[in-house]
Amino acid sequence: MKLKVYNNKGQETGNSLEINDAVFAVEPNDHAIYLDCKAHLANRRQGTHKSKERGEIKGSTKKIKRQKGTGTARFGDIKNPLFRGGGRVFGPRPRNYSQKVNKKVKLVARKSALYYKMKDENIIIVDKLDVNEIKTKQIVEIQKNFKISDKKLLIVVNEQNNNVYLSSRNLSGVDVVNVSSLSTYKILSASVLMFEENSIEVLNKTLA
């Protein structure tokens, strides 16, 4: 399968790029996508939540009233969870939320996500992103040229490009990622994927 290659102005360059069907035209596996995205979101959780329990509250341990003869329920100290300012019952504790997904499942998930983007024609290949200085205006112009200003854009580059990254970080609907860090969640969270031509070549080699 071949895709047209465009320049920054949204014009066809006359060239086409061969993409690997083993990467962009596989049988999609929705369950693999679910597992990979679920693990991705779980791994982002800090797990540092904590509330004080009865033994951690500052206060007297003196029994506040006698055990019997009051006509009401028995009580211990003032740190009882039933009292205002007392400890919390079964409150959250620090824990590790990370989940493990096998490499083969991740691979299938990424291929499946790319298949859906290819099927919906939401993949754009640009010969090179010529952003020669750090200006948000240049990224906005590229969006206008491709008529995708109202869509969430993910720019995939082959090498670290500080000009592209710094120019786009003020735009809420634009994200930049290195092709080696391209994840299933990133692919699906964007409406349109814009690849640099050399990044497609890397995908053809690493995901095939």
Domains, the chain, with CATH or none: 2-45+98-206 (3.40.1370.10), 51-96 (no CATH)
Q: Give 205's pLDDT tier (boundaries 50, 70, 90).
A: confident
Tokens describing residue 44: 């982002």
Among 73, 77, 75, smallest CA distance to 55 is for 77
Among 5, 7, 9, smallest CA distance to 18 is for 5
Q: What phi-psi label fits residue 10: left (phi over 0), alpha (psi between -120 and 50 degrees) or beta?
A: left
- Distance (Å, whole) CA 189 – CA 113: 10
DSSP 8-state code for residue 45: -
Burial of 175 (0-12, 13-18, 19+ CB in 10 A): middle
Q: Is the pTM of this model over 0.85?
A: no
Q: Give 185's pLDDT tier (boundaries 50, 70, 90).
A: very high
Q: What is the pLDDT of residues 144-180, one digit of tens each?
A: 999 998 999 999 998 888 889 999 999 999 999 999 8
